[in-house]
Amino acid sequence: MKLVKRILLILIALILVGGTAAFFYYKNKFMNAPPSTLTLSNLGQPFEFVWSGEKLNNKIEPHAAMLVPVTIPGVDRTLYMQFDTGAPSTVLSYKNVLSINEKYGDIFRMDTVDNRVRVVDASFKVGTVDVKASSVDIRGMGYTIDWADSTSVIKIGTVGSDFMEKHALIIDYKNEKITLMESVPETIEKEADFLPFSFDGRKVFLSAKLNDEPASLWFDSGSSAFELIVEEDTFLELAKPGAERESFLINSWGSKIPGHNIESNGMFNFGTTKVPLTYVTYFEWPNKLMVWTMKASNIGGDLGGMTGNKLFLGKTLVLDAPNLRYALVE
């Protein structure tokens, strides 16, 4: 019996040690980002973005993705990239890069950097902003571009939060414009009620209040179609009494993930700006250990969940990265 107890204690200790190691591994991985390779210039001019829609249960969600125009020297067509603050680094898609090179010559030069195939010494323009990148990671296969289709919106990758790292980013949702600036303009300074945000690992965590309780929200503009993504327990807690959930599937980096929406009657306070929470969402992520680690690490303090663009439609979001503050302006 003593031997059995001893074995059980050893097993419990191993599980605790393994769980703690996994916790710190995922936390460190999540809260760290590689150094930015981008150099930006020609700031201060607003440029338009466009929305991309997606079908969820036979209904079109018009705000599924925010796309920014991209122009490349030597390419006579405007291309697009998704604007995704949930991605710590800007990336390009492999087949799209090959298609551009096949049609226009070696526009993008590829090389192996740190044992990864990357685009090196790239120059392009995101909206009005000139971008030079010593190297850009390639993530995802993408697709072969059909150049004969003159009406298609050609997406070639993702603009990540490295784009805003040293600057003030202004997203005017009402007029569908983005401005990247050296600092917050005086007109906004006078009228905005700024709150702190954290930017560890180039993840944007906004401090706010939900139902008068502190909440830290991971702002991921790539999760554009949803007001608030939470774990299942919080999903049920925030659900409107008597409401029924609606289930659906989404595509996440090539995988189909089950998701669920349910009505809510919550209220956010972003300083002096109030925003109603009309529904909440949770996803059945396949990586349960990652979900557990994010929950246990209490990233950003009072973790309320993840929010995208949907919560801020009709307003202006100001993210002042150098000063770690933000404001939501009516």
pLDDT of residue 275: 96
Same fold across 38-163 and 168-329 = yes
Domain 168-329 top-level CATH class: mainly beta
pLDDT of residue 292: 56
262-296: per-residue pLDDT in tens? 999 999 999 999 999 999 998 887 766 556 544 54
Where helices occur in 275-326 by DSSP H, the ranges are 288-297
60-116: per-residue pLDDT in tens? 889 989 999 999 999 999 999 999 999 999 999 999 999 999 999 989 999 988 888
Domain ranges of the chain: 1-30, 38-163, 168-329
pLDDT of residue 12: 52
Per-residue burial over 104-119, b = 16 or more CB atoms within 10 Å of its CB, e = otherwise: beebbebeeeeeeebb
In the block, which residue shows the tokens 């551009």? 100
Which residue stretches of the chain have pLDDT < 70? 1-31, 253-254, 287-304
CATH number of 38-163: 2.40.70
Bridging pattern class, strands 38-41 and 155-159: unpaired
Where helices occur in 45-175 by DSSP H, the ranges are 94-104
SS3 of 39-76: the string is EEECCCCCEECEEEEEEECCEEEEEEEEEEEEECCCCC
pLDDT of residue 156: 97
pLDDT of residue 33: 82
